[in-house]
Amino acid sequence: MKVLFVSSEVFPLIKTGGLADVSGSLPNALQGLGVDIRILVPGYPAVLENIGALKTVAELDHLPHIGDATLLEGVIQDTQVKVWVIKAPSLYERDGGPYADKTGLEWGDNPIRFGVLSKVAAILASEKTPIKSWLPDIVHCNDWQTGLAPAYMSLTEHSNAKSIISLHNMAFQGCYPPNWVESLGLPSSGFSIEGFEYHGQLSFLKAAIFYADAISTVSPRYAKEIQTAAFGFGLEGLLSKRGDEIKGILNGIETEEWNPATDKYLSHTYNSENLQGKLQVKLALQRDSGLDIDANAPLLGVVSRLTHQKGLDMLVPHLQFLINQGCQFVLLGGGELAMEKAFEEIASRNPGRASVTIGYNEPLSHQIMAGSDIFVMPSRFEPCGLNQLYGLAYGTPPVVNATGGLADSVIDSNPAHLKDKTANGFVMVEASAEGLVACILRAVNMFNHDKKTWLQIQMSGMQQNLSWDKSAQEYLALYKTLL
């Protein structure tokens, strides 16, 4: 089976969030199951730098706005997964991030940048492909940036391949003024409710949901949630029409990259049989973050985008209280200015007790995951979430809100779950600042006063199989239903 896996970010080439983690690890797992897979990604500077040797495999033409581009092939380091990189300097080679410039302003030509990504995917899946020896059976799209691919496949390229859209986050849809329809080479007939039109705009994500042969979400709970107004971001009606078809598959983690026994970013490694190294990592984290060196202080950790989705504003009102109760706090993240400021202000008021790092830092994210005692993730919605899974793997029980993939992966430490030994974290009863602080206090109490039960909770997470084994099988089964 041949699968073209299309994504706007792929770890370790380019990453802004969990989509990159999934796009870097799921294809590898699928390849392990015998799938012949190629990843398609835009040629951002980071991709061209990080991939190493590249060879030209084809020239592409008839692309909207830019005409021509070159397709290069490389391999993701430490794997045998082939990546096809679209070399189009005028679109992708510039300073800044994949979606926005350095000041956070969205690139004005994003419809072209991701329209071209989608168009190239569709061409490669049609008879027009310049690579006749490799025609995919399945085009696996991810999020809005790839959303036009299923539309091009059915309306302009007449592809025989089947398309899947995996929904990683309904909050981002790629909606643009209607003039883009013609300029991206889409037929005006598609600009209707039965097509890619959404409230008078061209919607990349709606195009995918409407035209794709299959829809998946990154957790079973999220598959249900997005069919309701609270989580569907306006597309709940269309989604519920295809409700029965939407397949929720929980993300796995890359166990080569996220494994406390082998993690290259940790001063000491550890595993479920010996947690000594975890304590050493905590002490090193305290030292390096300017926190008081104190093995007993419950250390609350956060690694996150600081946006409304992640719910960390709910932590702000009671964080001082938690610190007064003896907790330490370490945060790595960035996003909304007001939230960054609020956390920085708390850190400056609490030297030795709270440390806040604004920015993106891969090594520190691993050190916080391993060195903290409790991982805090109170998201208002969370399609899957990878950080709570990393927390489970690293013996850092997560405190989470009961939504999406958090609800599907974290089992609350209530008496029943402690008794049957399934408890692996703490689930908020209510999505509010009060609900969050109550849940954190429950965890802190257990950490302080019942080490035996704490260890049991840590073990439940650390001994779980969180790898892609099972979920990659589910994707494979989904592909098979389409062929």
- Residue 362 makes contact with ligand ADP by CB under 6 A: yes
Q: Give the span between the Cα atoms of 143 and 7, in whole angstroms.
A: 8
Q: Pick the piece of the chain touching ligand GLC (CB under 6 A) from 37-45, 330-338, 361-369, 382-390.
A: 382-390
Pairing of strands 201-203, 328-335: unpaired
Phi, psi of 461 (to 5 degrees): -70, -45
Q: Give the span between the Cα atoms of 415 and 457, in whole angstroms.
A: 12
- Residue 248 makes contact with ligand ADP by CB under 6 A: no
Among 97, 185, 232, 334, binds ligand ADP (CB under 6 A): 334
Q: Give the span between the Cα atoms of 385 and 198, in whole angstroms.
A: 28
Per-residue tokens: 368: 């916080």
- Residue 393 makes contact with ligand GLC by CB under 6 A: no
Please write down the HEC assignment for all residues of 125-177: CCCCCCCCCCCCCEEEEECHHHCHHHHHHHHCCCCCCEEEEEECCCCCCCEEC
Helices (H), 299-382: 316-324, 337-349, 362-371
Q: Pick the piece of the chain touching ligand ADP (CB under 6 A) from 38-46, 59-67, 140-148, 355-363.
A: 355-363
Q: What's the residue count for the chain?
A: 483
Q: Are 221 and 407 in contact (CB under 8 A)?
A: yes
Interactions with ligand ADP, residue window 297-326 (CB under 6 A)? 303-305
Q: Give the span between the Cα atoms of 95 and 182, in whole angstroms.
A: 29
Q: Pick the piece of the chain touching ligand GLC (CB under 6 A) from 53-61, 294-302, 378-386, 427-435.
A: 378-386
Residue 406: in which H helix or E strand, if any?
helix 404-409
Residue closer to ligand GLC, measured from CB, 60 or 218: 218
- Residue 400 makes contact with ligand GLC by CB under 6 A: no
Q: In angstroms, give the least distance from the CB of 14 to ligand ADP.
A: 12
Interactions with ligand ADP, residue window 4-43 (CB under 6 A)? 17-18, 21
Residue 440 CB neighbours (<10 A) = 25
Partner in contact with 218, chosen from ligand ADP, ligand GLC, none, beta carbon below 5 to 8 Å by kind: ligand GLC
- Residue 384 makes contact with ligand GLC by CB under 6 A: yes
Q: In angstroms, give the least distance from the CB of 258 to ligand GLC.
A: 13
Q: Give the span between the Cα atoms of 191 and 195, in whole angstroms.
A: 6
Q: Give the span between the Cα atoms of 347 and 339, in whole angstroms.
A: 12
Q: Pick the piece of the chain touching ligand GLC (CB under 6 A) from 16-24, 47-55, 148-156, 182-190.
A: 16-24
- Residue 385 makes contact with ligand ADP by CB under 6 A: yes
Q: One symbol per residue from 180 to 219: x for binding ligand GLC (CB under 6 A), - otherwise; what is it?
A: --------------------------------------x-
- Residue 409 makes contact with ligand GLC by CB under 6 A: no
Among 156, 201, 251, 403, binds ligand GLC (CB under 6 A): 251
Closest CA to 163 of 124, 128, 190: 124
Q: Pick the piece of the chain touching ligand GLC (CB under 6 A) from 13-21, 232-240, 412-420, 438-446.
A: 13-21
Partner in contact with 387, chosen from ligand ADP, ligand GLC, none, beta carbon below 5 to 8 Å by kind: ligand ADP
Residue closer to ligand ADP, measured from CB, 202 or 406: 406
Residue closer to ligand ADP, measured from CB, 7 or 126: 7
Q: Give the span between the Cα atoms of 28 and 16, in whole angstroms.
A: 20
Residue closer to ligand GLC, measured from CB, 8 or 328: 8
Residue closer to ligand GLC, measured from CB, 99 or 270: 99
Q: Are 23 and 140 in contact (CB under 8 A)?
A: no
Closest CA to 118 of 210, 218, 4: 4
The closest residue (CB) to ligand GLC is 18
Helix or strand or coil: residue 3? strand
CA atoms within 13 A on the CB side of 350: 25
| Total site size for ligand ADP, rule CB under 6 A | 17
- Residue 165 makes contact with ligand ADP by CB under 6 A: no
Helix or strand or coil: residue 313? helix
Residue 324 CB neighbours (<10 A) = 11
Q: Pick the piece of the chain touching ligand GLC (CB under 6 A) from 12-20, 116-124, 234-242, 429-437.
A: 12-20
- Residue 386 makes contact with ligand ADP by CB under 6 A: yes
Q: Give the span between the Cα atoms of 252 and 109, in whole angstroms.
A: 33
* Binding interface with ligand ADP (CB under 6 A): 17-18, 21, 303-305, 332-334, 360-362, 365, 384-387
Site residues (vs ligand GLC, CB under 6 A): 17-19, 22, 168-169, 218, 251, 382-386, 405
